[in-house]
Amino acid sequence: METQQLTLGSGLPADVMSGGSGPALLYLHNHLGRDWDGFLDALAQVYTVYAPRHPGSDEPDELSSLDGFADLALYYDDLLNALGVETAIVVGHSFGGMAAAEFAAHCPQRVEKLVLIDSLGLWLDETPIEDISGVPAPRVSTILSGSAALTEELLSQPEDPAAIPDFMVSRFLSQAAVSHFIWPIPDRDLRRRLYRITMPVLVIWGEDDQYVPPVYAAEFEAGLPDAQRAMIAGAGHMPHLEKTEVVIEAITRFLNG
């Protein structure tokens, strides 16, 4: 795995981790920030994985050039150009799923297949999604995962006290960058653009997700022209980390099919 610092055609910078070999796969991360974890390691066994930080995660001023998801979609279009990648498989989790869906709707010719994992982007008044930026810390632990060990790992601070300030700033900036696009609710009329996502889509969802309830998996599947759904038993909002082998198997079947 290596990290590249790129300058896009727009002049905006991009920070991209990459690893593996094979067909290109673009992974878009959630609000907690980008980490190269066991899930990406598993994908990198078969694919060349590119994992960028969302713009604004390092430098908030970048967001002044990105007013909405149309701009964000063009950012990832420019990113693929800078990487020399014509088309890619795109995988996104949570906010990253929302960004991936918008990218696929705006630039469908760049996306071979799309995988949405417990994705934001739709809204049901009868089943609202909590504003995670305003949720008390104990509640965040509950809604992210049913695994206490996993949530402790996800939310833990570095052991080295000297590294804690930088870690806290990085976590804050990542959450602020996401809030720029989803506050006050994560609904930017994506539903009206779902018809443009014509490539095959796999919708993966944790059956016990308490952040984005599983009813949203059915909403995505019903609204997309060519979608299938995989519900992951015993998993919450982080099925790719809670049940990595099961999720990798589902993705592998989908991509090979």
Identify the band that residue 19 occupies on the pLDDT scale cut at 50, 70 and 90: very high
Quick one: CA torsion of 33, 90, 109, 67, rounded to 10 degrees? -20
Range of the domain at 62: 2-256
The CA angle 25-17-63, to the nearest 5 degrees, is 95
Q: How far apart are CA 6 and CA 96, in angstroms?
A: 20
Q: How far apart are CA 211 and CA 236, in angstroms?
A: 8
pLDDT over 90 (residue 145) = no
Identify the band that residue 101 occupies on the pLDDT scale cut at 50, 70 and 90: very high
Strands lying side by side in the sheet with 13-19? 2-7, 13-19, 48-52, 24-28, 88-93, 111-117, 201-206, 227-232
Q: Helix (H, G, I), strand (E, B), or coil: what is residue 250?
A: helix
> Which CATH number fits the domain that encloses residue 111?
3.40.50.1820
- Angle in degrees, 0-180, between the axes of helices 148-155 and 137-144, rounded to the nearest 10: 120
Looking only at the bridges linking them, the beta strands covering 88-93 and 13-19 are: unpaired
DSSP summary character for residue 156:
P
Task: Report helix, strand and coil shares of the chain as percent, to nearest 5.
Answer: 45, 20, 35
Report the pLDDT value the prediction gives residue 175, as an integer from 0 to 100. Answer: 79
pLDDT over 90 (residue 12) = yes
Identify the band that residue 183 occupies on the pLDDT scale cut at 50, 70 and 90: confident
Q: Find where tokens 């052991």 sit.
A: 159
Q: How far apart are CA 235 and CA 147, in angstroms?
A: 8
Residue range 215-227, pLDDT digits in tens? 999 999 999 999 9
Residue range 32-79, pLDDT digits in tens? 889 999 999 999 999 999 999 999 877 777 888 888 999 999 999 999
- Average pLDDT over the chain, rounded to whole? 92
Percent of the chain exceeding pLDDT 70 equals 98
Q: How many domains would you assign to the chain? A: 1
Identify the band that residue 134 occupies on the pLDDT scale cut at 50, 70 and 90: confident
Mean pLDDT of 189-199: 98
Mean pLDDT of 204-213: 96
